[in-house]
Homo-oligomer: A and B are copies of this chain.
């Protein structure tokens, strides 16, 4: 295992200490593993909390800040945060207007966020609503999921719901926006290589030198099929066909097109993939209204990519364009 680490058991805490040192605009509680925007709770504003296993950086801690999340709670690598931790994050951002939990659809995450919401309601009377992200069209159930997995749409949802909350909208409205983003988003990913969880020390799965995994999950869960290596244009077809068929996307739709890197794939390949995706979308007369290219929801050093399409209307486009100031996404301020 070749990694920049000290003790493999200590990676999450050490990285959080690094975030604290690099981003004085955040409050990072390394012990409790909570990343909070420094001005939280923001008076009158709905609080947004997300979290999940570590190893997907910049998701979620890199998306804490004005116009996006109020707090993130990272678990161990590829492991859900615990209820007490989520409850503490919820309390830290509760300004009296309620809190929205943004939960990727994995069994442990859903259960622990649910318990945290009950604890928050019981102990401080906090009104908590949850949106469960389940945009991955690859598989119906999977290793860690009943129903679809939550993947790339999480990034888009956190940005758009964050903008709605920043505008002072009430909890029901922010939750409606979040549900709308999830309902209008579909994703699928692929891997050229596995990744290695530091505390495990060997690759999560084995892929032959001439194989790739289509429909892979962000923890290396198996996907739809293992196929021979193919040119980027064929990979783009394999990802786009199920995405487009599922919603379904239709001619005339305008989308946000997000080509995401899994962590070990260089940007030059992601732009090359974007070109292929754009060509397919043009062939379906689907317009790219906004785009995002880069590693935003990763699986440690896995090589591969995912594509997320979000169907836009005027409201969602404006929410995407709204100012945001986080370590990983920033514009307008």
By a beta-carbon cutoff of 8 Å, the part of chain A in contact with chain B is 2-7, 11-12, 14-19, 21-23, 54-55, 57-58, 62, 77, 192-193, 209, 212, 229, 231-233, 235, 257, 259, 263-276, 278, 288, 291, 293, 295, 298, 300-301, 303-305, 325, 327, 330-333
Question: A275's contact among B18, B58, B295, by CB below 8 Å, is which?
Answer: B18
Contacts of A58 in B (CB 8 A): 267
B22 to A55, Cβ gap below 8 A? no
Q: How far is the CB of A214 from chain B (nearest CB, A)?
A: 13
The answer to whether B235 and A4 touch across the interface, beta carbons within 8 angstroms, is yes
Asked whether A6 lies within 8 Å of B232 as measured between CB atoms, the reply is yes
- Given A4-B273, A23-B291, A305-B4: A278 in contact with B229 (beta carbons within 8 A): no
A229 vs B1: C-alpha distance when bound (angstroms): 10
Contacts of A274 in B (CB 8 A): 18-19, 21-22
Cα–Cα distance between A2 and B228 once the two chains are bound (Å)? 11
Cα(A275)–Cα(B2), bound, Å:
19
Tell me whether A18 and B278 are in contact (CB under 8 A): yes
From A57, which residue of chain B is reached at the shortest CB distance? B267
Most buried by B among A17, A77, A330, A333: A17
Contact call A293/B22, Cβ cutoff below 8 A: yes
Tell me if A's interface is mostly helix, strand, loop or mixed. mixed
Contact check, A192 vs B3: say whether CB atoms are below 8 A apart: yes
Chain B residues whose CB sits within 8 angstroms of the CB of A233 once the complex forms: 6
CB A293 to nearest CB in B, in angstroms, measures 5
A235: B residues at CB distance < 8 A? 4
A2 x B303 contact (CB < 8 A): yes
- 14 cross-chain CB contacts under 8 A: A2-B303, A4-B232, A4-B304, A14-B275, A18-B276, A19-B271, A21-B278, A57-B266, A62-B267, A263-B266, A264-B301, A266-B298, A267-B295, A301-B303
Measured CB to CB, the nearest residue on chain B to A6 is: B231
Which 4 residue pairs across A and B have the least CB separation, nearest first?
A: A18-B271, A18-B275, A18-B274, A21-B278
Q: In the complex the two chains form, is B332's CB within 8 Å of A22's CB?
A: no
A267 touches B298 (CB 8 A): yes
Residues of chain B contacted by A5 (CB below 8 angstroms): 231-232, 269, 272
A54-B268 contact, Cβ under 8 Å, with A17-B275, A275-B18, A278-B18: yes
A188 CB to nearest B CB, Å = 14
Give A68 to B6 CA distance when docked, in angstroms. Answer: 36
Whether B2 contacts A229 by the Cβ 8 Å rule is yes
Which of B2, B259, B278, B333 is in CB contact (< 8 Å) with A331?
Answer: B333
A2 contacts across to B, CB distance below 8 A: 192-193, 209, 212, 229, 303
Q: Which residue of B lies closest to A20 (CB)?
A: B275
* Closest chain B residue to A77, Cβ basis: B268
